[in-house]
Amino acid sequence: MTDLAPPAPPHPFRSRTAGALRRAAPALAAFAAVRLLGLAALAVWGLAAGSSPHHLLAERWDSLWYTRVAELGYGYEVVLPNGDVHSNLAFFPLLPWLERGLAALTPLSAADAGLLVAWLASLAAAWGIFAVTDLRYGRRAGVCAAVLWGALPVGVVQSMAYSESLFTALAAWSLYAVLTGRWVTAGLLASLAGLTRPVGAAVVAALWVGALLARRAGDRSWRPVAGALLAPLGAAGYVLWVGRRTGGGLLGYLKVQGGWGNGFDGGLAFARFIGGRLASPAFAAGIGLILGVALVLWLYRLGFRDRQPAPLLVYCGIVVALALCASGYFGSKPRLLLPAFPLLLPVAVALARWRTSRAVAVLAVAATVAAVYGAFWLNGSGPP
């Protein structure tokens, strides 16, 4: 009888990935349940209001602009009556590239491909948030952080054909790679994040700080330097391409954003907007905005007090600064804060210390409120 060959040893990468997925499974299952609750609320609201959830998720607002890039390429623009130009060059290319690729390989339309990318990316983002939190604070805190991110009041954006989920996934896993010393991987992911949204600069800065600290701690290998060099290539490549296409040079992309009314003024326009609410019948809205900003800044301060790793603090600080200090449409600010997941870590750590039943009850209430609010929001003003 011929001896049977011994079974092949498990592949190290597949084995590690399977183990990491098993560890993250409760977080991913809970996150998926939160997002499904949000979609169910949107469907019920749509039946009552006569609206189409698919239209709201994939065929309105920025989703249309991404779909046009996927289908027609760059060059589409709208000239407003006041002379402002809304150009699709303002939208970074990674999401529409993925939409175009999926539409070419499957029966999906570009809009539906965008939804699929967003849904898969939201799971990847939740996994990355879990991984970062688990690394620092343990598994229970990681589960809470992933669920909290899904249960944010504007969490419905994670289920839309928008780029927030894709960016957050790339950012979270790049930060995880930084924290675990996987510098080349971190650089590649940071470069892809830079092809997704302008705030990719926050991931680049976090990697640079991490690499500098690693060098100071004695890591003299080539990997931190390689990661630092790779990180800005995506954003820099797109910005330079836009500058060349528009003839605006290094400032070309800023001019494109200026056509949309976007800029960075240190928060002066936002302060005037809040002041306008306080001096109007919408006084309560002004107070709510002040409390919201105070909450964001307080959570960021807690991150310092809890001694979050420097790359997380740098990343989160830049995301928050760009969101609060931009002069664009003020209704976008909660959505622009979605990638700032380190803000949730102090809350996640606190919840992890509670009894399981109490923590589950709090998260369930948050998820329910977010589901109802998301349905109300998309059927009203919605994300710009």
Start-to-end Cα distance in the chain? 72
Strand, helix or coil for residue 220: coil
Domain membership flag for residue 19: no
- Kindly indicate the confidence band of residue 327, based on its pLDDT and cuts at 50, 70 and 90: confident
Check pLDDT > 80 for residue 52: yes
DSSP class of residue 337 equals T
236-285: per-residue pLDDT in tens? 999 999 999 999 888 999 999 999 988 888 889 888 989 988 999 988 98
CA distances from 51 to 44, 54, 378, 379 (A): 10, 9, 10, 8
pTM of the model as a whole: 0.95
CA dihedral sign, ordered 248, 195, 30, 351: negative
108-132: per-residue pLDDT in tens? 999 999 999 999 999 999 999 999 9
329-376: per-residue pLDDT in tens? 777 899 999 999 999 999 999 999 999 999 999 999 999 999 999 999
Domain membership flag for residue 4: no
Residue 305, Cβ neighbours under 10 Å: how many?
Answer: 8
φ/ψ (deg, to 5) at 295: -65, -45
Strand, helix or coil for residue 66: helix
Number of domains making up the chain: 1
Domain membership flag for residue 18: no
DSSP class of residue 86 equals E
Domain membership flag for residue 100: yes
Domain membership flag for residue 11: no
Give the whole-angstrom CA distance, residue 24 versus residue 143. 8
Domain membership flag for residue 22: no
283-310: per-residue pLDDT in tens? 898 999 999 999 999 999 999 999 999 9
Domain membership flag for residue 353: yes
Q: Which domain holds residue 168?
A: 27-378
CA 372 to chain centre: 21
Quote the pLDDT of residue 1: 41
Domain membership flag for residue 6: no
CA distances from 95 to 66, 241, 343, 362 (A): 7, 17, 25, 34
Strand, helix or coil for residue 79: strand
